[in-house]
Structure 1
Amino acid sequence: MSHSNITVTTWSLEQTSPSDLRPSPPPEGDGLRIVRAEVPSPEFSRFLYASVGGDIKWIDRLGWTYAQWQEQLGRPGAETWVAYEKGTPAGYVELDAQDDGVVEIVYFGLVPAFRGRRIGGHLLSYGVARAWDLAERWPGRTPTKRVWVHTCSLDGEHAMANYERRGFRLFRTEDGQEPDVAAPGPWPGAFPSV
């Protein structure tokens, strides 16, 4: 079975100083907590990835083996920060420490039921702050000099604006072809058929 291709625009954004971060206040109420998942857990990370990315065509990690997940999560400087609302996972930020004081926000997003409730701006702000102070938790790491992220035209409609409001600056735009696949959902049949 062949898939047609679609054009996808990818935008890469960066901060080059901790003072670039313009944080968003936490949402009203006291039900939100952000906690680092300190024990690498392929099961939990795959749940977050599939649950947050299922309706926006995150597919690159769906075929990963357990060992591939373990390797990624076990990298020095890799961190997963999870937002919980009243004990329920609402979204996450995955950080990856790279060479020369660079930290990438590899994944960031909310489970669909938690979008549009002012959680995303706060979670992103918190995750970026953790990218800036990451070296404090990893002895021997170079202090962070640059935090970067990419988003694309398949991501949520508010993603780019959220990054820009938090103080990220665009440094690269690329167009490419990707297979036009169905949104996989966190499990088959998770989304109502249209």
Structure 2
Amino acid sequence: MPEQTIWYLEMCDAGAHHARPLPDTLNVIECEIPQFALNRFLYALVGAPWQWSEKLEGDQSEWQAMVESDAHRTFVAYYRGAIAGYYELYRPDGRNVEILYFGMVAEFIGRGLGGGLLSHAIDQAWQWSGTERVWLHTCSLDHPAALANYQKRGFRLYDEEIAPC
């Protein structure tokens, strides 16, 4: 059975963030009114090349409840009116913000936009009142530059596991 490596990363101090500027060509807007169908669309659009599919199958009521909760925030990045990427922040305990999903649409990968969008996500996480820690996980099935991008922005690896694909 094929395996993947899953890496868990965290940032426990906003001062550890090595920010990259958001490109002037990228406009990031928070979806202040939750729309589960939009999150589902973004997940499929961004995740297709990276085998994000588990959320699209079966009962989605728990996912919908999470997206519609006060502990969840969604941001969409636009480039000249087209969706270029997105991210979701999730903080169910009021202290630890998970960058739940983060990614660029395939056509926008390699244009130097990802580092700036990730910095935007980190800034939004730290600006969320009460945040004490920002964390995420990625895996070996993700874009080959994903882990390095997270580490360049200041995340440190705190756990690693091998799991079936």
Indicate the TM-score class for this superposition, using the shorter chain for normalisation: over 0.9
Alignment pair present for 1:39 and 2:13 = no
- Shift in Å at residue 70 of structure 1? 2.5
Q: Greater CA radius of gyration, 1 or 2? A: 1
- CA distance, structure 2, for counterparts of residue 40 and residue 98 of structure 1: 16
Percent of matched pairs sharing the same residue:
42
Cα offsets for 1:109-162 (capped at 9, x unmatched): 000000011111001000011111112xxxxxxx11100000000000000010
For residues 137-192 of structure 1, what are the alpha-carbon distances to aligned partners after superposition, in whole Å with 9 as ceiling and x for unaligned? xxxxxx111000000000000000100000000000100112xxxxxxxxxxxxxx
Structure 1 residues 170 and 66: CA distance shift in structure 2, 3 A = closer
Question: Measured at CA, do residues 100 and 41 of structure 1 come closer, stay the same or move farther in structure 2, by a change above 3 Å?
Answer: closer
- Matched residue pairs, number? 165
The reply to whether residue 25 of structure 1 matches residue 21 of structure 2 is yes
CA deviations 1:36-61 (Å, max 9, x no partner) are 01111122111110011001111121
2:49 aligned with 1:55, yes or no?
Answer: yes
Query: CA RMSD for the aligned pairs?
Result: 1.3
Runs (5+) with no aligned partner, structure 2: none
Residue identity in the other structure for 1:78: H
Q: TM-score with structure 1 length normalisation? A: 0.81
SS at match of 2:5: strand
Amino acid at match of 1:77: A
**TM superposition score normalised by structure 2:** 0.95
Structure 1 residue ranges, 4+ long, deviating more than 4 angstroms after superposition: none
Q: 1:159 pairs with 146, 149, 165, which one?
A: 146
